[in-house]
Amino acid sequence: MAISTAPTSELPIWMRRALRKTDWAGLLSIAFSVLIALPMLLQPGLPRNNDSEHYVFQTENTAAALQEGRWYPRWSPHVLGGYGAPLPHYYPQGAAYAAALTQIVIAGDPVAAVQIVSALALTFAGMTIYALVARRVGAAAGLIANLLYSFSPYTGLIAPYILGDLPAVISLWLLPALLWSLDRLLSGRQPFDFALVSFAIGALVMTDLRNAAAGLCLGAIFIAWRATAPDRQGVRWRAAIAALGAGIGLAACFWLPALVEINVVRWQMVNAPVIRGLSLPGLLAPLNQLDPALLIPAPQWTLGTPLVLFSLAAVLLMLRRQSRASFQALFLMLGLLTTVIALSIMPEQTWLLGVITLCLSIGASSVSEVYVDASARHRSWLFTLLCLVIVSAALPIWLFPFSTKSFGSAAPTAQVEYELQGFGIAGLPRWLPLPTTLSPTLGPNRALINGYRTGDISKIDMLYLNSNVQIGFLEHTSYSDRLQVQTYAPTEFTVLTAYFPGWTANTNSGSVRLEKDPETGLISIAFDEPVTTELTLRLDTTPIRAIAWAISWVSLAFVGVMARQRAKHHQPFLAEYPLLRRQEIRPVTVLFVLVAFTALLGFSGALDELRTESGSSLNGSTPVWARTDSGLEMASFQIENPSIRPGDTLHLTSYWRTVRALTDDYHMSIDLVDANTGQSIVHSDPHEPGNYPTRRWLTARLVRDDYTLAIPLDAQATNAVVRVEVVACDTVCDPATRLTFFDSAGAVLGQTLELSTRVSIAP
């Protein structure tokens, strides 16, 4: 008697789930993702030559505020010499918040907390893009997408290690997480899919507004594509839009007060760095090893050879098979479109490289179709070859000179000293403007600085109190101060804290007024009558902040209601995508072991012989080796386009070093001068070479400076020369402190160094 067997697709989901084999590609995806994040945990500290130090400072301050009972910090108490500023009010704090929670619960140290959060984000980024692509296409495409994304220059090297951009690193995970949760929500009725979408977009808004905007655009396009695709039946696009709206509402506690109160502060650009933007040749260039002699590694804005080759192959496959409506074709076109927009409209927005990498990694994973179409005999080695091409190009990642020194202290005193030495604003990356209410002429207060140094912080300078008041300092926290005040007549006094809406003054007797001092921007306290009382200053809420919190709580309640409703109508779902066979998994597993072994060798220094030669960044530049009497030297320079037209931009790259520790902060200025008349054509403002304070330079290490000069439209046709001056700028740049240059033989070159390459300006 014959026994009929029902097709697997007709079996109940619980039975199909039991019959489904292990997703070995998924396990390999986790392993490769952990591998790319491992150097972040193995290095003993974080470097002090990128934005990592600012996120360490933010983490320390956020952890202190949380431990004081402030669940959403809006104030950086130690910046600007201890006066404070509302940095967390205007800039997303999701990255610092996650690191602060990690510091409190797990690490106990802000540096270790930032390392852990970065490593987790890199790991989850690879795992999430695998889950997204695998459920739509298959395990082979998912693993290819993971490798292209995780081992790309931006994900594996630039964002976490060269830039130290913690929000960008977390966004590398949140962007694919948003797309993955949207795909789940659009496809079925799982209880928590709605909440996952809302939390993903909310976390993006609270972490990085730029990537949140990109995520909304990608999400909207993805929803529209799913709603109009041939298999659109059952697509819940209304629920997806509602989930995105709820997620934006969840983050209203941040963005709404920041938007409404944007004009209550003065926005000050402390020291805007010159960033070399995206370019087509740069994007297509292979990833090079970094010169170990460079003190500050310069990011190479490239997609990497594997992603370029796989994207080109994917385009050819798409045209050949006319699969323009597929999931991978959609993101391939989005990646190419974003590239065109970035190159033509906003090349300076280098963060778009992360979005481009994500889209192209998804789109280029369609190359796995070559493996699917191959014969069974050729599949295993062909798929392994595809993986090998990707990971072999990542060798410069493992040979990167990771940090080997301890970070040092991130305590409040260290933050104040950081600013006093002219290193920048502790907790504010150099490319962001500073929101402040202080007068530009207000300098540091000696008593407040001494209070930080002795550990006895007092926000009252007793030397400036009049005879009508006596004050005793009781307690100081990040967001409050308690004072014992006795006045003998109506009086006013100043508190050494920057004014900001929300600061309140409360007493247990008598009336008190809190206002902004018009001359300094500090908090001014006024008593209208003699009184003896305890005064409490505290940063509280404002009406708009209360409204914003109400919106966030209502949005959270809405997400909870939707999750409850979806649980009532829960429909079992199983993502049944093609898996890799064991004979295809084995060689890829061997490849992983080899890559892991190579990575550990590279990190341990065993592969130092493969590193590029120290000083290799000087190759192709014109040597100068002009010394100064301070120990600062200009090593070489390179003018990218010596033949230009009016309206063009002149790109100058110069390399500097110091032979001894510098005690002053030096700035350089560039002057393009007519070689015939000596008249200045265009002159730059003084700036720090390499946008890094010279006091922090290490001896014998090279510092690369990239600068651009915009040639005026009315410039006459002529031959021009570039002249460089260096001046000490401790507080202001005094021309009388210009350094004198000497050649290698000791001959005096003067206080102006003229470069040998002529610049031709043609009409």
Neighbours of 178 (CB within 10 A): 30
Distance CA 205, CA 207 (A): 5
Beta-strand runs (E) in 176-314: 266-268
d(CA 235, CA 256): 32
Asked if 482 and 403 count as a contact pair (C-beta separation under 8 A), the reply is no
As a 3-state breakdown, the chain gives helix, strand, coil percent values, each rounded to 5, of 50, 15, 35
Residue 251 · residue 552 · CB < 8 Å = yes
CB atoms within 10 A of CB 382: 17
| Whether the Cβ atoms of residue 186 and residue 226 lie closer than 8 Å to each other | yes
pTM over 0.95: no
What distances in angstroms separate CA 461 from CA 80, 445, 497, 537, one per listed residue?
16, 8, 11, 16
Comparing C-alpha atoms, which of 311, 337, 134 is closest to residue 221? 337
The CA distance from 214 to 191, in Å, is: 27
Q: Are 615 and 664 in contact (CB under 8 A)?
A: no
> How much is the pLDDT for 2?
47
Token pair, residue 180, equals 């993955």
Q: HSE-up of 580 (CA within 13 Å, CB side)?
A: 31
Please list the ranges in the chain whose pLDDT falls under 70. 1-21, 230-235, 272-274, 322-325, 371-378, 403-404, 510, 570-577
Give the chain's domains with CATH numbers: 23-260+295-404+548-596 (no CATH), 446-498+503-540 (2.60.220), 616-761 (2.60.40.770)
Strand partners, 722: 672
How far, in Å, CA of 572 to CA of 75, rounded?
46
User: Quick one: how far is CA 12 from the chain centroid?
Assistant: 46
Residue 217: what pLDDT? 95
Instruction: Show Cβ contacts of residue 597 under 8 Å, excluding neighbours closer than 6 positions.
Output: none
CA distance 208 to 617: 32
For 168, the enclosing helix (H) or strand (E) is helix 166-187
3-class DSSP state of 137: coil
**Residues 349-372: tens digit of each pLDDT:** 999 999 999 999 999 998 887 766
